[in-house]
Structure 1
Amino acid sequence: MKTVGIAAMSLVFFFILLITYSIFIGTADLRSHFFPLLQSQLPSDSIPCNSQSPLRVYMYDLPRRFNVGMLNRRSSEEAPVTARTLPPWPGNTGLRKQHSVEYWMMASLLYEGDSEDETREAVRVSDPESADVFFVPFFSSLSFNTHGHTMTDPATELDRQLQVDILKFLRKSNYWRRSSGQDHVIPLHHPNAFRFLREQVNASILIVADFGRYPKIMSNLRKDVVAPYVHVVDSFMDDDHPDPYESRTTLLFFRGRTVRKDEGVVRSKLAKILVGYEDVHYERSFATGETIKASSQGMRSSKFCLHPAGDTPSSCRLFDAIVSHCVPVIVSDQIELPYEDEIDYTQFSIFFSVKEALVPDYMVTQLREFSKERWLEMWRRLKNVSHHYEFQYPPKKEDAVNMIWRQVRHKLPMTKLAVHRSRRLKVPDWWRRRR
């Protein structure tokens, strides 16, 4: 009995010591571990949550020629844009809209709503010393599309000059110099955005659409953010058919350019493989107002929407499919997707490697054998996630621009690590050289 008593006392002492230590290091939640019933009886608003204050962003005041001035080139106004003077994104920009992420990010910071609004992931601050990151509102994608996007047009010199000028501006900033630009956010959504001097801003947090287009040394998932394309078809707002599966009579839909380069050569090969199927619509087409409307109707009446790689692994077509609630069929070996640390695309998309897709009959057979119940589950998930791909002003909770800012926040720990190391290292990145 004496031995049992000593053992019991030792056990009690051990638990007291463990609890004391846990409280001291801040890892113990006694209510959840020892009083789960009590916790379940508490009102929900009394349970601690992990809500964070919005990301604090300092946005440089740039002359309009670097941003919205490109939307109206007849205007000579150079004063920095404000919430009051922000022009709406024009409705006649066609495919230029798909790379307008830079506009919506700037607009979200100009929005003068409540700075404590819980729907906002980022707010603009006037004091750069209080900023978490610095935003550079240079519309580099629009600059490429506006100033001689054929790359041989003499107007490309205007694009080059804007890049030269913005770098001169940034190099005068104490905040750029103190971090070598590593805590600066720069949208480079179009694959050819900032193409002349890109290596000089590569240390920054870049907002890009495709990693597959760039060498690893120029962009990487550690610091950069994958942003969705802005969809060009209208969102399917009244998708409430009592039997959506049967109402979508086309099995697989694709409309777009079939002559592409690099990994995109798969499109011309698929055109030969998918011919002759009555329930497959595979059409060569160029983007116009009429063809975009036709694509929208085709996606809404199809169960699956094909997304083969183009000139880059991703394209606007994927996000058109998502807002049309058409289950994406993604054929690409190199694609990187937006928000993938939060969203599991396999819950509402199907993936084929290029090799699998080019096996005759394989892909169509797999889709035909796809059960109605599984398709309906994916369709419901598409309806639940599609708001994450909407760009709008004013911004709304968990819409595309708020999701992008949240992704920027996720990059901050590694960014701060890089900035702090760079301030004290005498031999930059010595550990890489050793490998």
Structure 2
Amino acid sequence: MGICVLAQRFCDVAIRRFLVVIGVFIAIILVFQCYWTIHYSLFGASDNISVAFSLQVPISQKGVFRSTASTNVMVDVTFAPHSEKDAYEKEVDLDGEVGRRSHEDANYSFTQKRPKYVYDDAIQKVREMDNKHNVKGNVQFASQGMIPSKGVGILDASGTQSVQMETQNEKPHLLNSHLKNESKMGTSIEQMNTLLLQSFNSSSMSPRWSSSRRDRELLSAKREIEKAHVLSNSSGLYVPIFRDASKFSRSYELMERKLKVYIYREGGKPIFHQPKMRGLYAAEGWFMKLMEGNKRFVVRDPRKAHLFYLPFSSQMLRVTLSGGKQMEQYLEKYVQLIAGRYHFWNRTGGADHFLVACHDWASQITRLHMKSCIRSLCNSNVAKGFQIGKDTTLPVTYIHSMMDPLRGFAGKLPSERSILAFFAGSMHGYLRPILIKHWENKEPDMKIFGPMPRDLEGKRMYMEYMNSSKYCICARGYEVHTPRIVEAIFSECVPVIIADNYVPPFFEVLKWEAFSVFVGERDIPSLRNILLSIPEEKYLALHLGVKKVQQHFLWHKVPVKYDLFHMILHSIWNNRLSQIRPK
């Protein structure tokens, strides 16, 4: 009996020791794996390395896991897709799941299928609200319209934590909650013009250290632009659509001759160096691909650069990470890495660095740690931190076909356009239900619809309406931007932009009033009268302006002069020149 007890105790001690050894071994593995996971997923030098460990269940997709690298920081790690097709399918699935955070439906308004009862209920609720408050005439609508859902903690400039609300699909009974007091108005295009002029006279943005050779080259270019000669008719530019065509031409010429860009090699895929060439956010992907493959502007020696490109995809950042706080922390670590390895960031505080991002989240997640950078953003909302004169607007270009971006667009002559105005789209945001409420089935020359069928016939009808209309309504969705502006330009339909606080693309150089119409959100009830009040001669001038500006919104696999790639880069170059001043 005593022998059995001793044997049992011996076994218990052996088992405990064995478990301790196993525990220590597992702890070592976890620490080692955690270190390399963070290292390669955030700043991996290899394009093919992507590590994940499943301490918790997957977030939403196969291969996506969440781990806690420290007490307060959440790091998401994603397995690289096996093929471009897999990556695209994964993106579509994730966009479908988090569609409430997405701004637009697609190139065609019918690509997001919505249950009919949601649309009908939304309109009914708007009517009930109007009746309840006896709202008549020119109703003032809010310029900011996001319904808050779950809060995301964000560190503000002082280091204290505030709560930022995440956009979500607005429920029908809340769609009209954005009717605001008539005294509150959005920023008009005239006010934006004033802000642009004021930005040219803002405080000095010269480097913190003594001026370098590159800064002197920029100052020299700035002086040359001020002395630009009047353009000749053979310039290839249509003068009326520019604020100052002579200065633009001279600035563009100097950009081609002098501008040098350094692209940071840090950052692993899929967030860095992996452009997405199709879909709603394709603009950031096309620019990344064309910039990284460019031999005219890109230099390998950062000492020769005037500008520094931070090559991350806000779309892939959103797909890979789960929320605003995680994305913001991720970019903070990236900036710390860049500032630690190079002195260029610290020399100017990031003022000569730039980013190009199209996802709705981009303006929020870059507002702190990248606030000094020149930000090229699709979501260019002056009410949410977009700085006119420093930041620049990235056009939303929904790409269905990389080979034929103009597929389906066929501009008709003005005499062949029998429809006054056209809009069709899903009920994204607070504004569109109000547009539908006022103008659906009200006038025969106002073709204002909700979602159209997604089949081939629906697509054909959509394109036919756009190609046959004088004016195409570009109403904001969840956010201020919309791909309909570029669609309208492609179909030679004059854009009617209804989005308070929205800064249109290339605002620094293009005179948007020469080829588009701006209508305040509060003026939707007067929309038809506003359009009918435009003289025929003025409409013909607007139509011609749309045709002439089209070349500046086209992507090419091999960039050509004055195309979209060059226009984006020029806006960044232009804003850097406007900021830098001699000491």
Counterpart residue number, 2:562: 398
Counterpart residue number, 1:322: 489
Distance of 2:304 and 2:286 partners within structure 1: 23
| Residues 296 and 143 of structure 1: CA distance in aligned 2, closer, same or farther (over 3 Å) | farther
Counterpart residue number, 2:301: 127
- 1:14-56 CA-to-partner distances (Å, cap 9, x unmatched) read xxxxxxxxxxxx99xxxx9xxxxxxx9xxxxxxxx94411421
Q: Secondary structure at the match of 2:577?
A: helix
| Residues 197 and 312 of structure 1: CA distance in aligned 2, closer, same or farther (over 3 Å) | closer
Distance of 2:472 and 2:362 partners within structure 1: 28
Distance of 2:409 and 2:452 partners within structure 1: 27
Q: Secondary structure at the match of 1:66?
A: coil
Q: Secondary structure at the match of 1:98?
A: coil
Q: CA deviation at 1:164?
A: 4.9
Q: Tell me, yes or no, if structure 1 residue 313 matches structure 2 residue 480.
A: yes
Q: Tell me, yes or no, if structure 1 residue 223 matches structure 2 residue 390.
A: yes
Q: Tell me, yes or no, if structure 1 residue 184 matches structure 2 residue 353.
A: yes
| 1:65-84 equivalence runs, <5 A | 65-69=270-274, 71=276
Q: Secondary structure at the match of 1:258?
A: coil
Q: Which amino acid aligns with 1:235?
A: L
Asked if 1 retains the 8 angstrom alpha-carbon contact of 2:382 and 2:502, the reply is no
Distance of 2:334 and 2:557 partners within structure 1: 26
| 1:417-432 equivalence runs, <5 A | 417=581
Distance of 1:239 and 1:129 partners within structure 2: 47
- Picking from 280, 285, 293, the partner of 1:98 is 280
Q: Secondary structure at the match of 2:435?
A: helix
Distance of 1:182 and 1:346 partners within structure 2: 30
Counterpart residue number, 1:207: 376
Asked if 1 retains the 8 angstrom alpha-carbon contact of 2:422 and 2:448, the reply is yes
| Residues 295 and 147 of structure 1: CA distance in aligned 2, closer, same or farther (over 3 Å) | farther
Distance of 2:475 and 2:519 partners within structure 1: 9
Counterpart residue number, 1:282: 448
- 1:292-314 CA-to-partner distances (Å, cap 9, x unmatched) read 66533321121110112222222
Counterpart residue number, 1:170: 338
Counterpart residue number, 1:8: none
Distance of 1:67 and 1:289 partners within structure 2: 36
Asked if 1 retains the 8 angstrom alpha-carbon contact of 2:271 and 2:316, the reply is no
Q: Which amino acid aligns with 1:106?
A: M
Q: Tell me, yes or no, if structure 1 residue 108 matches structure 2 residue 273.
A: no
Q: CA deviation at 1:165?
A: 4.6
Asked which structure has the greater RCO (Cα within 8 Å, sep 6+), the reply is 2
Q: CA deviation at 1:194?
A: 7.0
Q: Which amino acid aligns with 2:264?
A: Y
Counterpart residue number, 1:56: 260
Distance of 2:280 and 2:411 partners within structure 1: 27
| 1:291-310 equivalence runs, <5 A | 294-310=461-477
Asked if 2 retains the 8 angstrom alpha-carbon contact of 1:56 and 1:131, the reply is yes
Q: Tell me, yes or no, if structure 1 residue 235 matches structure 2 residue 418.
A: no
The answer for unaligned runs of 5 or more in structure 2 is 1-222, 233-248
| 1:147-158 equivalence runs, <5 A | 147=320, 151=323
Asked if 2 retains the 8 angstrom alpha-carbon contact of 1:305 and 1:326, the reply is yes
**More displaced, 135-144 or 160-169?**
160-169
| Residues 166 and 298 of structure 1: CA distance in aligned 2, closer, same or farther (over 3 Å) | farther
The answer for unaligned runs of 5 or more in structure 1 is 1-25, 33-39, 41-48, 72-88, 116-122, 422-435
Q: Secondary structure at the match of 1:187?
A: strand
**More displaced, 244-253 or 369-378?**
369-378
Q: CA deviation at 1:176?
A: 1.8
- 1:317-336 CA-to-partner distances (Å, cap 9, x unmatched) read 11111111111112233221
Distance of 1:69 and 1:259 partners within structure 2: 29
Q: CA deviation at 1:161?
A: 6.8
Distance of 2:300 and 2:399 partners within structure 1: 34
Asked if 2 retains the 8 angstrom alpha-carbon contact of 1:248 and 1:300, the reply is yes
Distance of 2:453 and 2:343 partners within structure 1: 44
Asked if 2 retains the 8 angstrom alpha-carbon contact of 1:143 and 1:193, the reply is no
Q: Secondary structure at the match of 2:500?
A: coil
Asked if 1 retains the 8 angstrom alpha-carbon contact of 2:411 and 2:492, the reply is no
Q: CA deviation at 1:101?
A: 2.7
Counterpart residue number, 1:409: 573
- 1:203-231 CA-to-partner distances (Å, cap 9, x unmatched) read 11111123326534xx3113111121114
Q: Tell me, yes or no, if structure 1 residue 386 matches structure 2 residue 554.
A: no
| Residues 197 and 363 of structure 1: CA distance in aligned 2, closer, same or farther (over 3 Å) | closer
Distance of 1:210 and 1:197 partners within structure 2: 12
Q: Which amino acid aligns with 2:298?
A: R
Distance of 2:434 and 2:467 partners within structure 1: 25
Distance of 1:277 and 1:308 partners within structure 2: 19
Q: CA deviation at 1:378?
A: 1.9
Distance of 2:534 and 2:477 partners within structure 1: 26
| Residues 301 and 236 of structure 1: CA distance in aligned 2, closer, same or farther (over 3 Å) | farther
Asked if 2 retains the 8 angstrom alpha-carbon contact of 1:245 and 1:372, the reply is no
Asked if 1 retains the 8 angstrom alpha-carbon contact of 2:500 and 2:521, the reply is yes
Counterpart residue number, 1:352: 519
Asked if 2 retains the 8 angstrom alpha-carbon contact of 1:232 and 1:292, the reply is no
Distance of 2:497 and 2:516 partners within structure 1: 7
- Picking from 431, 445, 448, the partner of 1:266 is 431
Counterpart residue number, 1:5: none
How does the TM-score come out when normalised to structure 2? 0.50
Q: CA deviation at 1:65?
A: 2.6
Q: CA deviation at 1:106?
A: 2.2
Distance of 1:331 and 1:238 partners within structure 2: 22
Asked if 1 retains the 8 angstrom alpha-carbon contact of 2:374 and 2:576, the reply is no
Q: Percent identity?
A: 21
**More displaced, 369-378 or 341-350?**
369-378
Distance of 1:255 and 1:343 partners within structure 2: 27
Q: CA deviation at 1:245?
A: 2.5
Asked if 2 retains the 8 angstrom alpha-carbon contact of 1:327 and 1:379, the reply is yes
Q: CA deviation at 1:289?
A: 7.9
Q: Which amino acid aligns with 2:439?
A: L
Distance of 2:515 and 2:579 partners within structure 1: 32
Q: Secondary structure at the match of 1:104?
A: helix
| Residues 193 and 311 of structure 1: CA distance in aligned 2, closer, same or farther (over 3 Å) | same
- Picking from 292, 311, 323, the partner of 1:137 is 311
Asked if 1 retains the 8 angstrom alpha-carbon contact of 2:282 and 2:399, the reply is no
Distance of 1:64 and 1:292 partners within structure 2: 35
- 1:61-105 CA-to-partner distances (Å, cap 9, x unmatched) read 13333335475xxxxxxxxxxxxxxxxx2xxx4xxx332332222
| Residues 196 and 312 of structure 1: CA distance in aligned 2, closer, same or farther (over 3 Å) | closer
